[in-house]
Amino acid sequence: MNLSIKHLFGLEGVPKEDIDSILDTAFSFREVLERPIKKVPTLKGVTVVNLFFENSTRTRISFELAEKRLSADTVNFSAASSSLTKGESLRDTIQNLFAMKMDVVVMRHPVPGSVKLLAQFVDAVVINAGDGTHEHPTQALLDMMSMKEKYGSLDGLNVAIIGDIRHSRVALSNIFGLKTMGANVLLCGPPTFIPYGAESLGVKVTYKLDEALEFADVVNILRIQRERQGKGQIPSLREYRNVYGITQQRLSKLKRPITIMHPGPINRGVEVDSDVADSEHSIILHQVLNGVAVRMSILYLLAGGR
């Protein structure tokens, strides 16, 4: 199960065969996570550094858990408590870390493309844990795994991505991955949240939520990325909720259930109501569990041979 890629920068251009291998391997690791002893010796002797220059709950803990489940040695770096705060440059920081012989680096950074830059000056496997508004490939892979688990195949599945598409790295990685796997993708949100020319990515666009719900087998709901946008793109959170919030009242107009997904963190009562997020049709916590399995899969396939 060798991959054609050496690093995971994003899902743009990653072939279907690679995504199939990652998802198949992730399903095997899901079985490990169900065992009483949830650990295999696969990455014994491999050292992984988790470099987080932005806050994270799910991705950071999920990677760390995946590394521990594979018996890798794990080191965590958080920018806020590092010597970066004393004026050390990013390059010096990273070169010092790699002088200590790291094999794999998992990085989240606010600058799009930063992971590619990193790979140019370290001799290690580089995995993107989210680079600014660009890509978040492991999130999209765990999203696809969760959809595949529910529907058996992604081919022909109708997936509506709803919310702040413009500032979302989750959206872009989902679009690339889902299109490669044969799904139909529709983007929905206010015009200020949909990138100009989005249709060129092979997706449909609507500004009407009811149209998106009518289309969808699955809705992947995104929060408003307030940390990545200027003010004035929506009149108010209350108005956004009134027009684009996913509520039981809206869903009950449909005659069939829709699968509810959200990458987290959720702003309950804004993009989705609590009773929808916690409903029997929500697979949000399954996504979180699958996140560990997908990250084990990526680490194994990219670093297992080293």
Per DSSP, the residues of the chain read ---S-SSBS-STT--HHHHHHHHHHHHHHHHHHHSSS----TTTT-EEEEEESS--SHHHHHHHHHHHHTT-EEEEEEGGGSGGGGT--HHHHHHHHHHT--SEEEEEESSTTHHHHHHHS-SSEEEEEEETTS--HHHHHHHHHHHHHHHS--TT-EEEEES--TT-HHHHHHHHHHHHTT-EEEEES-GGGS-TTGGGGT-EEES-HHHHHHH-SEEEE----GGGS-S-SSS-HHHHHHHH-B-HHHHTTSSS--EEE--S---BTTTB-HHHHTSTTB-HHHHHHHHHHHHHHHHHHHHTT-
Give 180 or 220: the residue with its C-beta nearer to ligand CP.
220
Asked if residue 250 binds ligand CP (CB under 6 A), the reply is no
Asked if residue 139 binds ligand CP (CB under 6 A), the reply is yes
Give 70 or 170: the residue with its C-beta nearer to ligand CP.
170
Residues 31 to 60 in contact with ligand CP, rule: CB under 6 A: 56-59
Residue 264 CB, nearest approach to ligand CP (Å): 5
Contacting residue, 263, 294, 295, 298, with ligand CP by CB under 6 A? 263
For residues 113 to 132, the per-residue mask of contacts with ligand CP, x marking binding by CB under 6 A and - elsewhere, is: -----------------x--
Give 170 or 194: the residue with its C-beta nearer to ligand CP.
170
Residue 63 CB, nearest approach to ligand CP (Å): 9
Give 205 or 263: the residue with its C-beta nearer to ligand CP.
263
Residue 152 CB, nearest approach to ligand CP (Å): 25
Give 25 or 128: the residue with its C-beta nearer to ligand CP.
128
Under the rule (CB under 6 A), what is the footprint of ligand CP?
A: 56-59, 130, 136, 139, 263-265
